[in-house]
Structure 1
Amino acid sequence: MLERIVIPSSVDRRTPPAEIQLWISDARQRIEAFQDRWDRPQIEQFVAADYELVYQSLGWALESQMLIGKRFLEWGCGFAVVSALAGTFDLDVIGIEAEPELLAQGRRLVGEWNADVELIHGNFLPRGGESLADDPTLPSLGHDVPCGYTAVGLELDDFAIVYSYPWPGEDDFHERVFDRYASVGALLMQFCGPNDVRLWRKRG
């Protein structure tokens, strides 16, 4: 089962380093330019998170919570902004993304930022994970791409921290997948909307 860990409301007072603030500003500009293009269809499932709040929350979690390891995984990494930010905390970071165009943007970003992260094309759901959904129309379902874990020779239970930005209505699905497949003691961080970062620990 999952245990909710309350992130204090004061977490947004943690001032990110100047370099991180520049990275976040650069990321916002890249994403806005990408979404303003008229020469290709929009990728509706990609929405930018509040990257500053995620960075602040992750920093607090790493300082205040016991970890079972250093591996960090981003589900559906998109532009890989969170993956790149997590890499500044001395974590071993992997991001998995199903959309090739978003993955290309993510690889460009981490390359230009010189971020030490690994980005994988694939499905972030573990094999069998789709069976835990109670709604067949959830955006996390139906990606006809290889399992992302196979590419790196790892499984979900090899990661200490997982980050996701669930589409409205699928946060509980992400929680069920994590609860089923993650290791005991692992952390799940979710960005669920403005001023709403949630943190869970899997208990035995």
Structure 2
Amino acid sequence: MIPSSVDRYPIPSEIRLWIIDSRQRIEVFHDRWDRPQIEQFVAADYELVYQSIAWMLDTQPLIGSRFLEWGCGFAVVSALASTFHLDVIGIEAETELLERAKQIVADWKVTVELVTGNFLPPGSESLADDPTLPSLGHQVASAYDSIGLELDDFAVVYSYPWPGEDDFHERVFANYAAPGAMLMQFCGPNDVRLWRKVGVQCCSAGRTERQ
């Protein structure tokens, strides 16, 4: 169980400044008037995600150091994860978001590999019980071919599922991730979930809900 006290994990002052900077950039992006909005891009609680990653690394054994962000947006979580000396890749289907992500990675001077493409492994769409899920709407090629890796090459996968598609993300992870790998999901305010794949199943390693 991720303890409710996870929000007591210290956040370095530089990281706090990065998060403030990211929110300002995202706000400017959302306030633009000259281009259509990218409705599926919503910022997470980056402080809580950072603290949850720190807790995971302190308490959970990992099968490796590769960290993958599904739908990285501005790559804020990817950038934060890289400060823990993880080998981070962020996948994003929207090229406009990926350009903003590249700016953040460059300005913050972190090491993150950013890839344009679909974060779903080929064929995993069949695991969805609703054909209208937002994760199914990206008509771009799979990113895994371009990076030369498969989902089972990653120790940790992070996602921010749209409401109603968290089960789908869990099924994809359970079917394609390596045994022992972990899935972290930000599911809304005060709600971070952590799963470990055990054998061919995916079991809960913890969840935190702050009051």
Structure 1: gaps spanning 5 or more residues: 1-5
Q: Cα distance, 1:142 vs. partner?
A: 2.6
- Is the deviation greater in 134-143 or in 156-165? 134-143
Per the alignment, residue 35 of structure 1 pairs with: 30
Q: Mean Cα displacement is larger for which, 178-187 or 141-150?
A: 141-150
1:3 corresponds in structure 2 to none
1:144 CA drift (Å):
1.1
Q: Is it true that 1:55 corresponds to 2:50 in the alignment?
A: yes
Map 1:39-188 → 2, pairs under 5 A: 39-188=34-183
Q: Secondary structure at the match of 2:136?
A: coil
Count of matched residue pairs: 199
Q: Percent identity?
A: 75
Note the C-alpha offset of 1:163: 0.1
TM-score, normalising length: structure 1 = 0.97
Query: In 2, Cα distance between the equivalents of 1:41 and 1:143?
Result: 16
Whole-Å separation in 2 of the counterparts to 1:108 and 1:147: 23
TM-superposed deviation, 1:187: 0.3
SS in 1 for 2:40: coil
Match of residue 19, structure 1, among 14, 21, 36:
14
Determine which of 177, 189, 192 is the counterpart of 1:197: 192
Deviations 1:55-106 (A, max 9, x none): 0000000110000000000000000000000000000000000001111110
State how far apart, in whole Å, the 2-side matches of 1:129 and 1:31 are.
30
Higher relative contact order (CA closer than 8 Å, sequence separation 6+): 1
Unaligned runs of 5+ in 2: 200-211
Q: CA deviation at 1:50?
A: 0.2
Compute the RMSD of aligned alpha carbons. 0.5
Cα distance in 1 for residues equivalent to 2:97 and 2:146: 18
Deviation sequence 1:3-57 (CA, Å, 0-9, x none) = xxx2100000112001100000000000001000111111000000000000000
Q: Give the partner amino acid of 1:195.
A: N
Normalization by structure 2: what TM-score?
0.94
Residue identity matched to 1:200: W
Q: Describe the superposition over 1:114-158 as per-residue Cα deviations: whole angstroms up to 9, x where unpaired.
A: 110000000000011111000000000031111111111000000
